[in-house]
Amino acid sequence: MERPSDLSLPNTEPLFSFLPLADLPFLVQPAAAAAAEAAMEKPHAVCVPYPAQGHITPMMQLAKLLHCKGFHITFVLTEYNHQRLVRSRGPGAVKGLKDFRFEAIPDGLPPSDPDRTQDIPALCDSITKNCHAPFLRLLQKLNESGNPPVTCIISDGVMSFTHKAARELELPVVFFWTTSACGFWGYFHYLDLIQRGYTPLKGIYVHMLLSY
């Protein structure tokens, strides 16, 4: 009688095949699902500065701080400023990161010399009239991508169209004032000055206005 140690199996395919642990579905799927769930839960702030350097810089500083705290950031420039940034610093300037993206919307003004400052009064008027629709479409696009959906809007205090878009999509909006506290105080009292009849300035006060 043969001993068990002398027995041999025919030369056939292995009865069992072993997968690496990393390839086992029941181990991979929970990890992937957890990562996807974490991405969906990550707060996503859309930052919208007024298109001037003195507004873009402080908004960018705030966006970087929020990004360091775990926020997904979408930083929205006008197409004019987006193109100027690419022209001066190259495409890498707006490449961003996986969770810090740059987007652009039109300001409604006709094309102009990228080396010159835009007409500020015309820009303010155009932004008020023309930016709401493209901004709303951008928010819808970001939400449809779902990676992650928009959770809040951080808007420059003078970009009032963002409030209308936020209300339509039922998103919270925070207005960020980029000027000094003294400048904010002046804007805050506009209505009071008008109601008291102090503006527009009249008589002897007119010559006190700065020429610029």
Mind listing the pLDDT tens digit for each residue in 14-41?
A: 444 444 545 444 444 555 555 555 555 7
Q: What span, in angstroms and rounded, lies between the C-alpha atoms of 92 and 4?
A: 70
The verdict on residue 78 lying in a domain is yes
Residue 6 or residue 189, greater confidence: 189
What percent of the chain stands above pLDDT 70?
A: 74
Residue 183 or residue 58, greater confidence: 58
Q: What span, in angstroms and rounded, lies between the C-alpha atoms of 122 and 181?
A: 26
Q: Record the tokens describing residue 57, joined without a space.
A: 């810089």
128-138 pLDDT tens trace: 999 999 999 99
**Which residue in the list 55, 72, 82, 132 is annotated as catalytic?**
55
Q: Give the burial string for 102-139 (b: 16+ CB within 10 Å, else e).
A: bbbbebbbeeeeeeeebeeeebeebbeebbbebbbebb
Q: What angle do CA 63, 66, 69 make, to 5 degrees?
A: 155
The total number of structural domains in the chain stands at: 1
Q: What region does 70 belong to: left with phi over 0, alpha with psi -120 to 50, or beta?
A: left
The verdict on residue 187 lying in a domain is no
Q: Record the tokens describing residue 173, joined without a space.
A: 């909006």
Residue 120: which pLDDT band, with cuts at 50, 70 and 90? Answer: confident
The verdict on residue 144 lying in a domain is yes
- The question of whether 82 is a catalytic residue gets the answer no
- The question of whether 99 is a catalytic residue gets the answer no
The verdict on residue 153 lying in a domain is yes
Whether residue 153 has pLDDT greater than 50? yes
Whether residue 46 has pLDDT greater than 70? yes
**Which residue in the list 44, 82, 132, 156 is annotated as catalytic?**
156
Residue 208: which pLDDT band, with cuts at 50, 70 and 90? Answer: low
What integer is the mean pLDDT of 66-75? Answer: 96
Q: Where in the sequence is the domain holding 149, given as residue range(s)?
A: 42-108+117-177
What integer is the mean pLDDT of 154-179? Answer: 94
Of 105, 175, 174, nearest in space to 133 by CA: 105
Q: CATH no. for residue 134?
A: 3.40.50.2000
pTM: 0.71
CB 50, CB 160: distance < 8 Å: no
The verdict on residue 52 lying in a domain is yes
Handedness of CA 106, 112, 113, 115 (dihedral sign): negative
